[in-house]
Structure 1
Amino acid sequence: MSAAGPLERTHLVGIGGAGMSGIARILLDRGLPVSGSDAKESPALLTLRAQGAEVAVGQAAANLDLLGAEGPTAVVVSSAIKADNSELVEARARGLTVLHRSEALAALMAGHRVACVAGTHGKTSTTSMLTVALQHCRLDPSFAIGGDLNESGANAHHGTTLVSGADGPVGIFVAEADESDGSFLAFAPSVAVVTNVEADHLDHHGTVEAYRLVFESFVDRIEPGGLLVTCADDPGAASLATYAESRGVRVRRYGRSASDVTLVDYQPVDGAGVARIRLDGAEIDVRVAVPGEHMAGNAIAALLAGLELGAPLPGLLEGIAGFGGVRRRFEFKGRSGGVRVYDDYAHHPTEVAAQLRAARPAAQGGRLVVVFQPHLYSRTRLFSAEFGAALALADQVVVLDVYGAREQPEPGVTGALVAGAVSLPAGQVHYEPSFDKVPPLVVSLVEPGDLVLTMGAGDVTMLGPELVAELDRLCRAV
């Protein structure tokens, strides 16, 4: 087997997913044969085929022969792939190496100085900011992110920059680290960022305490001499920082209550923001092109990680100022009839509240109309009251039914639980379980000057263009 190790010839089951397609992109960039399958056609599959991957729609044992008679040397799966999946069963029958997605990504990190970004919220945006900031410093890092960068439209890339390492030149690898199933424990970063630690993914971890402990295990994976960057304002992250120091790990804290990098002030400016920070005794303005103080915090985390990787401060500041965002993170979808439509991935109460607070100044005096789709039955059951409190920050709320994703329906758990928890006057909260009825309902609610924000991790993202089209039809009719 070549220096590529088990990934010399790779087949990915569910290759169109965000994490899996990123691994495929990096393997293809490295000139390695790649095949894969997915349940349905998607733009990601078209892109991978254009890069040279052999991709099948639909899953079958025969797909393991897409690379020819030699077949794959490894089959990569995610936590979403069930044990009875036909391709996984065939791979085991052939005695092939089967790797979890995180194990494959860890293998790609070999020979690199690794920066991993974890946290309950903000990891995709922070990973993306760090990547773009390094690129503005004329560095070319490898990266794997859970969302597509607006600048390049890509979620992963094999970089070419080499920096000095203990045993010679090494590359830089920036990765989003997923705690949802504990798979980030496959990584051993030299720089780790944890933006926050707040109860989530209890369908996998079971208890809040187990969820907290998996982050401590992640800290234990930091390389000797490595750095942990945490937010001092988040109780979970602050507790983790204390744990890290007890284990001999260097820690740098940021936030309004931090001493390493203090957030002195934040001001929204024209749909963006400016954070004034105190770093090494000097006050510096950090311009962040995406709105919200929570995004400013993500930018400071990225700045600290970039400095630890050896990038110059001026270049990092320039890169953060030029960061154009990530798809599905307050992404502008269009304007019609004086109404602006945005889409956001927020699917946890804290994320929803933070994004609505950020959207308020962006509404520029108009009303804030949110269309929210709960994600997962377990999360809806556990956090319906918290979702209601967060959504009450809007002026009009439309709640869809639950996007179940990997879960089976639970009796009595619907979007009505969330809608019923929103403490707004009658006529300002609407539960609409029929997806097709949502666009005309929203259009009937809005008026010129309003900002509409579709939110959730499911197919609610499809509504943005439909809302713009519905508004266009209304304008033509009058």
Structure 2
Amino acid sequence: MTPASIRSQESLGRVHFIGIGGVGMSAVARIMVARGVTVSGSDAKDLPVMAELAAAGARIAVGYRASNLGDAQTVVAGSAIRADNPELVAARDSGLPVLHRSEALAATMGDDVVVTVAGTHGKSTTTSMIAVLLQGAGLDPSFAIGANVPALGVNAAHGASGIFVAEADESDGSFLNYRPKIAVVTNVEPDHLDYYGTAEAVYESFDRFTELLPEDGVLIACADDDGALALAERTKARGTTRVLLYGTSDRADLVLHDGGPGHVEVSSAAGRFALELQVPGRHNALNAAAAVAVALELGVDAGAAARALADFSGASRRFELKGEARGVRVFDDYAHHPTEVRAALTAARSVAGTHRVHVVFQPHLFSRTREFAGEFAAALNLADTALVLDIYPAREDPIPGVTSQLIGDHLASGGRLVAADEAVAALVEAAGPGDIILTVGAGDVTSFGPQIVQALDG
């Protein structure tokens, strides 16, 4: 995707959202309504967020019809909207500008100090942490996050501080549509090869992302991740942008000291401070360090920044507790890349202690399964029980010869393929008091958590 010129919010006029019920689309719509834009929108289903938007002043329709466009002057279309959608067809036939969600979001940022969070993993959690931290430190940031955040109550809001915190998605190159002053990169790994084609193209896109930073901007990158560290070094070599590293490495400017739950600290030139974290795992400790680094750049007192994270309880579908029954805790996680699956299971191990961990995993995309089958199996083998469902196709058509069996071929003795209608019963039978059950994947496996809790109760 070629970087777009940033439109002003005023130039958009009346804005219509096709697919307004999606978590990302509704976030932009919510901010636009709060900033005085006339907003309308539609979605195939009547989702709860649509009632919230209607109450805030948006005109909402259920179902797609060309007439829903009304007198819109700009159209924003969600990435899942098909080319033959009647509203999209009508917009193009009428010559209306059709924007990607990221272009619309960028238009709302105006003259705010923009903080964007990019990376192959951890974007939603890190963005959430930054927003929670800044609120807790007395600032009032605007924010847009790709997941709901209980501590914030919403995933997007208009704030009065002149600071805008946003998750920047690299999956389709749309993170190049922002103009950040502070850019966080949590990690860089090959993913979304259905879009990029090669690992080299992924790395190049992150280079282009850091090139968007102004001379007085800063790249905040994780020194513990090889890809992010290499990106930082390339950015330093250009000599046009300041680079700040965080992590456990002695190369970091802000050093994470991770002694496990209750013993996490960060140190920088401002001193050494304890972090009170409710969320488990080394990856979350690193995300917290990134959030503190951003806060320090924005002038927040280091002690206040460290204390503010105590209010962060996680983001939706990021190691989210779905319930507990019969002494078994059930968590759900959006992980859909091998590194994410490994991080989720490592966190589950730390929570389970001496007890067992059971996981049901739903691969997401045929192309991703083909590229990473062995790595997925290696991560899943960290569990005592690993059940693998059929591939969730999302936007892809099947690829001949690519099935979940590619993962199954590498599973240890505790792993096997299962049909969806067998998974809940198999997990309930395997789990005992003190154990952890984890549902993992970016598809509809998230619906299994409540079913498992109910079955354990029964």
Which residue of structure 1 lines up, in the alignment, with residue 231 of structure 2?
240
Letter in 2 for 1:10: V
How far is the alpha carbon of 1:16 from its aligned partner? 1.3
How far is the alpha carbon of 1:287 from its aligned partner? 2.4
Q: Does 1:429 align with 2:415?
A: yes
C-alpha distance in 2 between matches for 1:262 and 1:6: 41
C-alpha distance in 1 between matches for 2:56 and 2:421: 36
Count of residue correspondences: 450
Which residue of structure 2 lines up, in the alignment, with residue 166 of structure 1?
none
C-alpha distance in 1 between matches for 2:224 and 2:114: 25
Structure 2 contact 181–213 (Cα < 8 Å) conserved? yes
Q: Secondary structure, in 3 states, of the residue corresponding to 1:268? A: coil
C-alpha distance in 1 between matches for 2:181 and 2:402: 42
- Describe the shift of the 1:335–1:108 C-alpha distance in structure 2 as closer, same or farther (beyond 3 A): same
- Describe the shift of the 1:188–1:4 C-alpha distance in structure 2 as closer, same or farther (beyond 3 A): closer
Q: Does 1:312 align with 2:272?
A: no
Unaligned runs of 5+ in 1: 66-70, 162-170, 474-478
Q: Does 1:294 align with 2:276?
A: no
**Per-residue deviation, residues 19-53 of structure 1 (Å, max 9, x unmatched):** 11100110121232211122223222233233232
Percent of residue pairs identical: 51
- Describe the shift of the 1:153–1:430 C-alpha distance in structure 2 as closer, same or farther (beyond 3 A): farther
C-alpha distance in 2 between matches for 1:43 and 1:261: 43
**Per-residue deviation, residues 160-201 of structure 1 (Å, max 9, x unmatched):** 12xxxxxxxxx1100000100110111110000001100000
Q: Secondary structure, in 3 states, of the residue corresponding to 1:225? A: coil
Q: Does 1:407 align with 2:433?
A: no
Structure 1 contact 347–374 (Cα < 8 Å) conserved? yes
Letter in 2 for 1:193: V
Counterpart mapping for 1:251-400 below 5 A = 251-261=243-253, 263=255, 265-269=257-261, 273-280=262-269, 282-400=271-389
Which residue of structure 1 lines up, in the alignment, with residue 64 of structure 2?
59
Unaligned runs of 5+ in 2: 1-7
Q: Does 1:29 align with 2:14?
A: no
- Describe the shift of the 1:262–1:186 C-alpha distance in structure 2 as closer, same or farther (beyond 3 A): closer
How far is the alpha carbon of 1:62 from its aligned partner? 1.6
Counterpart mapping for 1:100-249 below 5 A = 100-161=100-161, 171-247=162-238, 248-249=240-241
C-alpha distance in 2 between matches for 1:39 and 1:91: 17
Structure 2 contact 333–441 (Cα < 8 Å) conserved? yes
CA RMSD of aligned residues (A): 1.6
Structure 1 contact 15–37 (Cα < 8 Å) conserved? yes
How far is the alpha carbon of 1:14 from its aligned partner? 1.0
Structure 1 contact 79–181 (Cα < 8 Å) conserved? no
C-alpha distance in 2 between matches for 1:220 and 1:32: 31
How far is the alpha carbon of 1:243 from its aligned partner? 1.4
C-alpha distance in 2 between matches for 1:78 and 1:196: 26
Letter in 2 for 1:449: G
Give the counterpart of 2:449 among 464, 469, 474: 464
Structure 2 contact 64–87 (Cα < 8 Å) conserved? yes
Which residue of structure 1 lines up, in the alignment, with residue 4 of structure 2?
none
Structure 2 contact 132–152 (Cα < 8 Å) conserved? no
Structure 1 contact 74–99 (Cα < 8 Å) conserved? yes
C-alpha distance in 2 between matches for 1:46 and 1:398: 37
Q: Secondary structure, in 3 states, of the residue corresponding to 1:341? A: strand
**Per-residue deviation, residues 368-388 of structure 1 (Å, max 9, x unmatched):** 001111111110111010000
Structure 1 contact 275–286 (Cα < 8 Å) conserved? yes
How far is the alpha carbon of 1:204 from its aligned partner? 0.3
Structure 1 contact 143–156 (Cα < 8 Å) conserved? yes
Structure 1 contact 6–74 (Cα < 8 Å) conserved? no
Q: Does 1:440 align with 2:425?
A: yes
- Describe the shift of the 1:467–1:257 C-alpha distance in structure 2 as closer, same or farther (beyond 3 A): same
C-alpha distance in 1 between matches for 2:426 and 2:173: 40
How far is the alpha carbon of 1:414 from its aligned partner? 2.1
How far is the alpha carbon of 1:261 from its aligned partner? 3.2
- Describe the shift of the 1:262–1:302 C-alpha distance in structure 2 as closer, same or farther (beyond 3 A): closer
Structure 2 contact 273–303 (Cα < 8 Å) conserved? no
TM-score by length of structure 2 reads 0.95
**Per-residue deviation, residues 128-170 of structure 1 (Å, max 9, x unmatched):** 0000000011111000001111113311001012xxxxxxxxx
**Per-residue deviation, residues 251-300 of structure 1 (Å, max 9, x unmatched):** 0001122434354531222xxx4323331173332222210111111111
Which residue of structure 1 lines up, in the alignment, with residue 3 of structure 2?
none
